[in-house]
Structure formats: structure tokens, C-alpha cells
Homo-oligomer: A and B are copies of this chain.
Amino acid sequence: VTVYLVGAGPGDPGLITVKGLELVRTCEVLVYDRLIAAELVDEAPRGAMRIARDHLDQAAIDELLVRLGCRGLRVVRLKGGDPFVFGRGGEEALALARAGVAFEIVPGVSSISAVPASAGIPITHRGVSSQVTVVAGHDPDALDLDALAACPGTLVVFMGLKALPELVQGLLAAGRAPDTPAAVISRGSTPAAETVVADLAAIADAARSLAAPALVVVGDVVALSSVLGGNVESTSIEYAAAI
């Protein structure tokens, strides 16, 4: 194996896997995303080449990985979260497979569950939610909001902060109850994390000052954050209402 596609986890450098950290510590080339913790980049060997992907588009990354892999270098491609959850890791893997370069996927802790957990929200909970629907929210027009509004359980939206007002409007128009508990967690699992909890009808306003990246969670499990969330700022949700 020459190229490892490694998930770094949701932010906290301690949440990389043991295997992922070992690979970073023994790589010859580290190609890493903008949001990777500096502590993890610093774990690469002193002599390793470090390449920040900041100014490379996806095609350039794919080509870079193929080129490095063809030279037989031990490459770690370190990606935020999990490589296969809205991480475009599949495209990088495909490019490597098509070029005949050996590769391995090393999964990471995805934000799907870890970021809500950091705010005291279990995405599943017996008697409250046994279904989770995960979507990308940067383009609400691409979503079937009627179907999403009807999904039972928990809705988790990646990249949903910018278009949150449209997203919420669409869910309400499609019949989702205005008092459904909702949360926005900004920069979850980092020291800069901020969480806002409110009714669905009020969440877009309540989250207006938050910064990307952020995860949106909609569903009755959010109400558990008032008990499990420690110091989460909660505007209007009563724990007793949903459980």
C-alpha cells in the first residue's frame, strides 16, 4: 500500500484513530485539509513533505495523490472527519484505483454522531429516535424537503449553516412541526465550539452569529442536550417536552 486515505476525526486531535496516528508518524508525504488540527500535522516525521491542500481543487488533489503514489512514496492523505462522509474520499480512491496505485482507507470518527455528542445529543435514543437521515445542506433546492420533513427520527445536515433560513422554511412548509427541537453546533469538537438550541421555527435566527463549519440537528433527541449537554446554551427547549 502506498497511499492511505485517513480520517482525522471531527476536530479534537485526540479523536484520530490509533492506526491513523501511526500512519501520520511514519509517512513520507502528508497531504492535509485546511481544518486539520496543527497538532496532527506536527506529528509527521521531521523529514516528511507536508502539503496543505488549501489552494488545490479536487482534480488537482486527485492528480497529486496519483503522482505521489506512482513514485512509490508512503503517502498519508489526512482528511477531516471520515473520508467517505461528504469527504470526497471516494473520488480520490477512484482516481488511485484507475491509475493502478495501491491504497487503503482508514476510517475516522465522523461528525455525524461525534459533533452532536459533543453537545450532549445522541443521534439515536431508545423510544425517541431509531432513524437518522444525513444530508448536505449547501443547496436546499437539491433536496426533497417534503420527503425530509416526513422522515421520522433525527435529521443531520452537513454544510447547512448558510442556507439555514431556506432549509427551515422548506421543512416548516412541508409540515414539520415548528416546535421540533433543533440545534446548530459550530466548530464542534474544537476549543472554539459553540452550540445553539432552539425550536425549529426559531433556530435560523438563533444561529445567525455562528461560524462555519457547522452541523444542524433536527429532532426530539436534541431535547436531551438540556440534561446531557453540560454547558450548552439552550434558548427554549424543555427536556421534559420531548422525552
- Residues of chain A at the chain B interface (Cβ within 8 Å): 7, 9-10, 12-19, 21-22, 82-91, 93-94, 97-98, 105-110, 112-114, 116-118, 120-126, 130-136, 142-144, 147, 150-152, 221, 224, 227-228
CA distance A223 to B204 in the complex (A): 38
Q: How far is the CB of A121 from chain B (nearest CB, A)?
A: 8
Give the 7 A-B residue pairs with the shortest CB-CB distance, closest first: A90-B122, A14-B19, A107-B114, A84-B122, A90-B125, A132-B134, A105-B117
Question: Nearest Cβ in chain B — how far from A32, in angstroms?
Answer: 17
User: What are 7 A-B pairs at a CB distance below 8 A?
Assistant: A14-B17, A82-B113, A85-B124, A90-B228, A97-B228, A105-B118, A124-B136
Smallest CB gap from A21: residue in B: B18
- What B residues does A93 contact at CB under 8 A? 120, 122, 228
The secondary structure that dominates the A interface is: mixed
When chains A and B are docked, how far (Å) is the Cα of A12 from the Cα of B98? 27
Contact A113 B110 (CB under 8 A): yes
Given contacts A85-B123, A133-B133, A134-B131, contact A94 B147 (CB under 8 A): no
| A238, chain B: closest CB distance, angstroms | 16
A224 and B105 alpha carbons, distance in the complex (Å): 14
| A137 nearest in chain B by CB position | B130
Is A109's CB under 8 angstroms from B17's CB?
yes
- Taken together as a complex, chains A and B put the C-alpha atoms of A144 and B153 apart, in Å, by 11
Given contacts A107-B118, A131-B134, 7 further A-B contacts (CB under 8 A): A9-B17, A14-B17, A14-B22, A83-B122, A94-B227, A109-B109, A110-B110
Q: How far is the CA of A152 from the CA of B146 in the complex (A)?
A: 12
Q: When A21-B18, A112-B112 are in contact, do A131 and B122 touch as well, CB less than 8 Å? A: no
